[in-house]
Chain A
């Protein structure tokens, strides 16, 4: 096994590296230019709300189509077949929740962060504290996934086999994204995401066409080859290879599906993107663009995944450094040799950088705006100081995620991201929906649903087979997997909804009806919503 890994050197690390450095150079120039227009807090957090719907839609897909989508899903389809496809369906359908229930109203009632909306009609300090903690937790899980992906990808591309070498690369990625965020703020980060999204989608279209050409546009033939090459026969064309070997596995899969479909509209870094456009109508347009781009992209990954299964084969993929996550790069190498591999790898790497930058942006904004400015300083802080704190936080979060990424190196990225979705769906979404739609919802209810969802999901993850007790766990040697499901969504999401309800009904606190009236009128009509800044 180890010998096979050492032999498997694909592509030319030098070419890979130089194409990637070219991307870094271009984006750094863009970020530097963006930094000149970043003066106020609104500029730093929301790029002056000056992006158009389509621009923001592309940036959202750049943010959302993380390494988990490209490398993780393509890899899961290549190795486990149909079960990988199930991820992408959940990831896509989830956008309808954001479109119908969240995006526009969030844009109309908030300024910078998710907590702005959650605390709108509640007591500010406790709710903002809770929302900030939850934002940091979700972003951390998501960051972990991206950083782990960076390690695996580099292992493949630069032929860095040792853990130490890979760790050094993760450190490099971390430092680079800190620079993006510090210098470019939201505007720079958004442009990095736009550039990356265009490259990623173009790369995927190109490879898909190539794969289809190989099979003379015969999808059935492609599927046949994939099932023949898999060694598992037609099983790769049906659900169940990854999940559902037993009853627990089946329930685990339902749990995962629930977390995926309800998680997106609770992801703070996605929600924050809705503040970068001038109106709710543009926020709607962003989501529509995002849905088309993301949906289209997932259809491509279906072809790419089965293509990799057919042309490269699951055995070679599993044996390669980076394992599953290397399916797409290996397919690129098989199709177009050294150059295509280098291009696709640079794109994949850019993907990680851009997503990580967006996450750091969101986490630092939440800490500085919600926790520092509104909780500690009780809203009396100057905007300049707040942004300064946000920048310092960005550095700290960057450093923490570097350490976490080194620890999580080697895990399946799509799986790690699914955990972030579970926490988001449990801690954030119930609270957002109650705040927007339920008149009686009050501070106690908000705190119960945020903390309840957050604690339940995180505790269940800690005691799940994802963390210990199995060969695929994060800590293989330890064994404290008391909870059988790898994904906690099935339990923690209903718990959070229930706690939000109970907290509201059981407390004596009366909801502030005046504030609710204001929130509802603003949410639906856009009266007094934050406007774009003038420059």
Chain B
């Protein structure tokens, strides 16, 4: 949207006190919101994935139990990995749109409108 005159130079505004921004209440809240979502979610999907891998490796009898026709537990759990991946993607986008973007934008506008120019 907003383009600048010197697109290829790295904008590194001098005189900005980044540590002050980093310590500001808004930024601390933004970081808290981001980490509160992405860290537990990462732990969750990695655990679920590793559980699946371990089952596929060491619980082959269980994975080979047929549920419907030739469709067995292993196939269903594998497909559930797809489902969980799609769901987490959707959840994150919703969370980012509602809880992260507005706050990030307001901090950015403050900085770019005020101290930087």
Contacts and interface: CB of A to CB of B under 8 A. Distances in A.
Interface of A: 40-42, 48, 82, 85-86, 89-90, 92-93, 95-97, 99-101, 111, 219-221, 223-224, 227, 234, 237-240, 243-244, 250, 253-254, 257, 261, 278, 281, 284, 287-288, 291-292, 295, 298-299, 383, 513-514, 517-518, 520-521, 524-534
A520 B57 contact: no
Contacts of B41: 96, 100
Contact of A521 (B27, B93, B101): B27
Nearest to A285: B93
B99 interface: no
Contact of A86 (B1, B2, B56, B69): B56
A284 B10 contact: no
A100 B104 CA distance: 16
Contacts, number: 172
B19 A517 contact: yes
Given A220-B70, A244-B57, A514 B45 contact: no
20 contacts: A82-B78, A86-B56, A89-B82, A96-B88, A221-B70, A223-B75, A224-B70, A238-B63, A240-B60, A254-B57, A257-B50, A284-B93, A287-B89, A291-B85, A292-B86, A513-B19, A520-B22, A526-B104, A531-B2, A534-B7
Given A238-B64, A524-B31, A299 B70 contact: no
A518 B18 contact: yes
Contact of A526 (B42, B54, B108): B108
A531 B8 contact: no
Interface string B61-91: 0011000111110110011011001101100
The 6 closest A-B pairs by CB, nearest first: A220-B69, A223-B70, A517-B18, A533-B7, A518-B18, A517-B22
Nearest to B27: A521
Contacts of B1: 278
A125 B82 CA distance: 41
Contacts of A253: 53, 56-57
Contacts of B70: 220-221, 223-224, 227, 234, 237
Contacts of B92: 99-100
Given A92-B81, A514-B18, A383 B8 contact: yes
User: What is the size category of the interface that chain B forms with chain A?
Assistant: 35 or more
A243 B58 CA distance: 11
A110 B113 CA distance: 22
A513 B22 CA distance: 10
B104 A525 contact: yes
A223 B92 CA distance: 35
A154 to B, nearest CB: 32
B45 A96 contact: yes
Contacts of A89: 49, 52, 78, 81-82
A148 B54 CA distance: 31
Contacts of B37: 100
Give the residue among A93, A223, A534 with the most B Cβ atoms within 10 A: A93
Contacts of B93: 284, 288
Contacts of A291: 85-86, 89
Contacts of A100: 37-38, 41-42, 88, 92
Contacts of B38: 100-101
Contacts of B82: 89, 92, 295, 298-299
Nearest to A89: B81
B8 A239 contact: no
Contacts of A529: 11
A27 B48 CA distance: 41
Given A82-B74, A527-B111, 5 more contacts: A41-B8, A223-B70, A257-B49, A517-B18, A521-B27
B42 A96 contact: yes
Nearest to A85: B78
Contact of A531 (B7, B45, B60, B101): B7
Contact of A250 (B13, B57, B69): B57
